[in-house]
Amino acid sequence: MYLTKEEQAMLDGEEGETLQKAIEILVALGDIYGADRLIPVKSAQIAGVSYKTIGDAGLEWISDLHGKVRIPSILNPAGMDLQDWKKMRIDPEFAHKQHLIIEAYEKLGISAKCTCTPYYLEGFDATYGDHLAWSESSAVSYANSVIGARTNREGGPSALSAALVGKTANYGYHLDEMRKPTVLVTVECELEGSDYGALGYIAGKMVDSGVPLFILKGKPDNEELKALGAAMAASGAVALYHVEGITPEARKNKITRPEENMIIEESQIREIYDRAEPDIKDLEIITIGCPHCSPAELSLIAGLLEGKTVNKEVWICTSREVANEHFELVRSIEKSGAKVVCDTCMVVSPATERYKTMMVNSGKALAYVPGMCGVPTLFGDIYKCIKEALNE
Amino acid sequence: MKVKCRTISRGCAEGQVLITRDNISFLGNVDPKTGKVVDANHELFGRSIKDKVLVFPHGKGSTVGSYVIYQLFKNGVAPAAMINLESEPIVAVGAIISAIPLVDRLEKDPYSILMDGMCIKVNSSEGYVEVTEG
């Protein structure tokens, strides 16, 4: 791998131990994946934040680092609402450790905003062709597919290294040839809202780590594309997809349809909604906001809950910045008894484990919550979720 | 005998070989407090990786494995060095942040030239492995 004089000096330790380790990680990954050089990245989004995930080992490592990041850098969701963790009934010892992790990241100049939707935040509004070093799988998918930016799915330490060095290794989805579709997915029915999450849940398992090119009947909006990508990155390992006539690379470039064609029928989508297990009688909690809600989604939920009172535990997950900017929507949602939960989500918080059965409108949450949190999960569209919350 | 290899994590260390054909998921397979392999289904079950030159095909499992390697290092029970057939990011990152020399792609098959208990030197800064005592 080619290194500039400055990069070589950094690797030789001339800029201190933290930067030496950071660039050593980037170079090692570059060597493993056959990168030719390092390239500058515009921003970093760093995984390895929830104490539930990284534990004391991760906390120790981050605390031992010195220096400051060179590009705008932001964090993945944490294990709890950082301000109002008590409303989630988080154990105080967990809260203490979680705060230590956030403080250790902040010491390195990283923004303590914890979200899987950095693209809704100022300073992280990536544009077409930008190179990024993002971690969270749905954010990676959104950046690559919906925005047309370029990022691999960075692990926590490699994203942090990229943030410190301001660069990443040039391989994978940074390269044109790796962005070509590998499989065609034809969907034979019209889709709406959470159907896209259900589609992603099915397609991810079929495509695994390929690059699917979708042929769809309708025109999904960006929230629907967000749900599609998030689910595919969870049930499979899809980090980039295209939709013919919709996503930027499929519109701007001449994309050849791959030969292999998978067909998804309406009955497969319905099956996700109509599962007999778990029993809806055991439903204890409804969670919406995986990935974190956009302002438009908060507005829809506020409208559905207006003047009503929920009868079950309800979490609406979003980023703190979006919540602060739309505090009137938050206030309106919370008036119903539903909780607007920031900085975290149902997948990464240990608070999820207390509940017997959950309902979600997210294909990603459906893929993760039963296994990672041990909570049987039902799937419904946003109207069904709110209806169950209100016990109508 | 010196055998050339590819450098993944730089450094130089000596130790006794502990060799396995099983891949290792550091999260779950190894106890970060003791350095012992705790997965009953693993070929190295019950053995300690502390101060050893750990030879295995490659890592697997959760990316949290990188942090577990760091914890082994902080607890003083990490391997002295590691040799892979083909390194992947979890073990690569764990080795680098823990200053454990790691190499892969030896010019000779490590399973034909290395045996449990052999003393060897891994000089990954210079890109070779040397058998110091048979």
Domain boundaries, chain B: 2-133
Reference A135, options A107, A108, A161; nearest CA is: A161
Looking at the structure, do residues A319 and A359 belong to the same domain, yes or no?
Answer: yes
Per DSSP, the residues of B47-97 read: -B-TTSEEEES-B-S-TTHHHHHHHHHHTT---SEEEESS--HHHHHHHHH
Q: Check if A371 contacts B (Cβ < 8 Å).
A: no
| The model scores a pTM over 0.90 | yes
Same domain, A284 and A251: no
| Mutant choice from A24, A46, A50, A66 vs B, greatest count of B C-beta within 10 A | A24
Q: Are residues A41 and A18 in the same domain?
A: yes
CATH number, domain containing residue A374: 3.30.499.10
Q: In chain B, what is the greatest distance between 2 CA atoms, to the nearest angstrom?
A: 37
Residues A222 and A98 in one domain: no
Residue with tokens 């009137």: A328
Picking from A230, A255, A273, the residue at the C-terminal end of a domain is A273
Neighbours of A217 (CB within 10 A): 10
Query: Which residue in B93, B32, B62, B29 sits closest to A372, CA to CA?
Result: B62
Do residue A248 and residue A306 come from a single domain? no
- Averaged pLDDT, B26-49: 94
Cβ contact A9:A15 at 8 Å: yes
Mutation for B interface: A10, A26, A29, most B CBs within 10 A: A29
Q: What is the pLDDT of residue B28?
A: 86
A152 and A224 within one domain: no
Domain that holds residue A220: 180-273
Q: What is the CATH number of the domain that holds A164?
A: 3.30.499
pLDDT band at residue B4 under the 50/70/90 scheme:
very high
Question: What ipTM goes with this model?
Answer: 0.84
Q: Are residues A35 and A165 in the same domain?
A: yes
Residue ending a domain, among A176, A204, A222, is A176
Residue with tokens 């942040």: B97
CB-closest option in A56, A60, A157 to B93: A157
Are A310 and A166 in the same domain?
A: no
> Is there a single domain that holds both residue A86 and residue A135?
yes
Pair A149, A61 in one domain: yes
- Whether A269 and A302 map to the same domain: the answer is no
Q: Which of B9, B63, B68 sits opposite A28 (nearest CB)?
A: B9
The Cα–Cα gap between A74 and A118 comes to 8
A79 and A15 in a single domain? The answer is yes
When pLDDT is cut at 50, 70 and 90, the band that residue B134 belongs to is low
Which residues lie below 8 Å from residue B41, measured CB to CB, with a gap of 6+? none
Spell out the CATH class of B2-133. Answer: alpha beta
Task: Give percent of chain B above pLDDT 90.
Answer: 87
Number of domains in chain A: 3
Q: Each residue of B7-34: pLDDT tens digit?
A: 999 999 999 999 999 999 998 899 999 9
Please give the average pLDDT of every successive group of 10 residues along chain A, which has 392 residues. Answer: 97 96 96 96 96 89 95 97 95 97 98 96 93 96 98 94 98 96 97 97 94 97 98 94 97 92 97 92 97 98 98 97 97 98 95 96 95 94 97 82
